[in-house]
Amino acid sequence: MLRYSLKRLLSLVISLAVASLVIFFVIEVAPGDPASFMLGINAQPDTVAALRSELGLDQSKVERYLSWVGGMLQGDFGTSYTYRSPVSTMVADRLWVSLPLAIYALALSTLIAFPAGIYAAARRGKAGDMAVMGATQLGVAVPNFWFAMMLVLIFAINLRWFGAGGFPGWDKGVWAGIHALTLPAIALALPQAAILARVMRSALLDILGEDFMRTARAKGLSRRQALWRHGVRNALIPVLTIIGLQFSFLLAGSIIIEQVFYLPGLGRLVFQAISSRDLIVVESVVMLLVFAVITVNFLVDLAYAAVDPRLRSRT
Amino acid sequence: MSRNLILGAMLSSLVVLAALVSFVWTPFDYTAMNIPGKLQTPNATHWLGTDHFGRDMFSMIMVGARTSIAVALVAVGIGMGLGVPLGLAAAARKGSWLDELIMRGNDLVFAFPSLVIAILITAVFGAGAINAIIAIGIFNIPVFARITRGAALSLWEREFIMAARVAGKSATRISFEHILPNVLNLLIVQGTIQFSLGILAEAALSYVGLGAQPPTPSWGRMLADSQTMVSFAPHLALIPGCAIIVTVLGLNLMGDGLRDWLDPRLRVARA
């Protein structure tokens, strides 16, 4: 287990290093100089030069890459070009919206998908299965931001159960925060739940065909007991993988969903930064998201290597 | 053929037909504004109503289909065009540094949240359909490389490949003449799925303003425009949304149906 963990840790570090290089390179080749953009077209050349050296833009690429990565390792994400405030505090503020939203959505998605997938597998080929599978086909085809708009139309505008958008802040109470994140979380969760339910169903169907399931029945367990004690537990391994992968979809998806609900999360920060060409913010937020995704996948790998020793010898 | 395949093919061809017909005919000029006739609900003249500029929704949906299909199609093309040769090469030299490099590169691209990087690319190089295509296309490369490599690896063990090697054919020729035709089924099925994901990705990028730019109609863009008017003109949001759902649903059903149809072993297992 230790050898496997170290091997995976090494590949995690390599992935992060390569990812940071790619992101830095993409931002580097971006047309336009942030200093001249900030000062406008009428700026004097020496003012631009002064700002460039203040922002560190006159250093060599290698120096700038190293100071960016070195800074991030110490929690310093640089200084925003437009707001002149540390990117790390801007990100930290927004993270308190985006992260709870992604976790909320993940919880909802799991809560919907598990029962639906297990139910469909248990009734394979019957009407209940058909209904669940039909619903998941539809769920996969619905763009989440459109679904979000429909939720706003029904539950915010017509029924007035929720606000149409915005976020009160956690200092207004945990309940108010959760209330404001409910519609966005549902919008994010349902399409993911459709995928998860399909995976749960097919994983469970694979298990149901195994010999040990027949043995379980033969030793006197009822269908239901065998399903829960031996089926669902074994089906969890492929399902866990997908949950890990979904975290990245949820984070990326929250960027779009935040636009629908005017939530002050990372997504809005990124789009504001894009429109003001505040590239240091874009660079750092994207790196942070990639870091989160790669790390979560790493943890999922470790988690099921711990659960299933057979996986350690593979890869 | 399954019901899935027939229904999926019908829905998909409906959308493709609408896109093709839009080149020669739309009920109205999709750019023609008519402010007095704005925000009409669906009626006999304007079958799907009009938007906030009085433009005909039906015509815009037809032309929007063109944008969606073009972006998704080229993105799948990039993915297949680069991914399939990479996968074939990796399988032909299994275990070599080339195989290792291709597979590690694949893992890396998979680790990135695709939408975030698509946003990064379009943000840096400018919003627009071309950059959206590139951004979506890049993420199709590892998908096709991986699936091609996996299928090709098992084919390399088979007798007819051995026969071709004995006959003195090079690895490149074998890959293209014998391996590729045998993985084509798999690629068609995956292509359908990636196509539908491409439609969704294009809609999302256009929705946040990083995809096709006005006046080119795009379903995502139409949804973004409708957002402030959804309370009094819900049809503006409903119609492009339904267009996306019908297209994606059709492609997914077709992909599922094709998979069952092309691989008879699955017919029993999946029934």
Residues 237-256 of chain A whose Cβ lies under 8 A from any Cβ of chain B: 248-249, 251-253, 255-256
Window from A43-47, A106-110, B182-186, B254-258 with minimum mean pLDDT: A43-47
- Counting as low any pLDDT under 50, the low residues of chain A are 315
Asked if the Cβ–Cβ distance from B245 to A253 is below 8 Å, we say: no
Query: 123-182 in A: which are within 8 Å (CB) of B?
Result: 125, 137-138, 140-143, 145-146, 149-150, 152-153, 157
The model's confidence at residue B14, banded by pLDDT at 50, 70 and 90, is very high
Query: What CATH number should be reported for the domain holding residue B8?
Result: 1.10.3720.10
Rounded distance, CA B98 to CA A82, Å? 44
- Tell me the ipTM for this assembly: 0.86
With respect to residue B38, please indicate whether it lies within any of the assigned structural domains: no
Tell whether B95 is covered by a domain: yes
- Compute the distance between CA of residue B34 and CA of residue B56 in angstroms, rounded to an integer: 9
Does a structural domain hold residue B23?
no
Contacts of residue A216, Cβ cutoff 8 Å, sequence gap at least 6: A225, A226, A229, A230
Mean pLDDT across B176-204: 90
Contact between B115 and A255 using a beta-carbon 8 Å cutoff: yes
Cβ(B22)–Cβ(B63) below 8 Å = yes
What's the pTM? 0.86
Measured CA distances, A101 to A160, A168, A174, B254 (Å): 21, 14, 13, 34
User: Does B32 reside within a domain?
Assistant: no
Measured between CB atoms, does B237 come within 8 Å of chain A?
yes
Q: From A29, which residue of chain B is nearest by alpha-carbon distance?
A: B124
Residue B87 lies in a domain: yes
B28 in a structural domain: no
The minimum CA-CA distance between A171 and chain B, rounded to whole Å, is 29
Q: Give residue-wise pLDDT tens across range B105-133.
A: 887 777 777 777 777 787 778 778 888 88
pLDDT at B190 over 70: yes
Give the domain extent around B242: 3-18+55-270
Structurally, chain B folds into a number of domains equal to: 1
Give tens-digit pLDDT for A192-245: 999 999 988 988 888 887 888 888 888 888 888 888 878 888 788 778 878 877
Look at residue B157 and tell me if it is in a domain.
yes
Q: Which of B48, B19, B64, B50 has its CA nearest to residue B218?
A: B64
Structural domain includes residue B106: yes
Task: Give the side-chain half-sphere CA count within 13 A for A156.
Answer: 21
What is the percent of chain A with per-residue pLDDT over 90, rounded to a whole number? 15
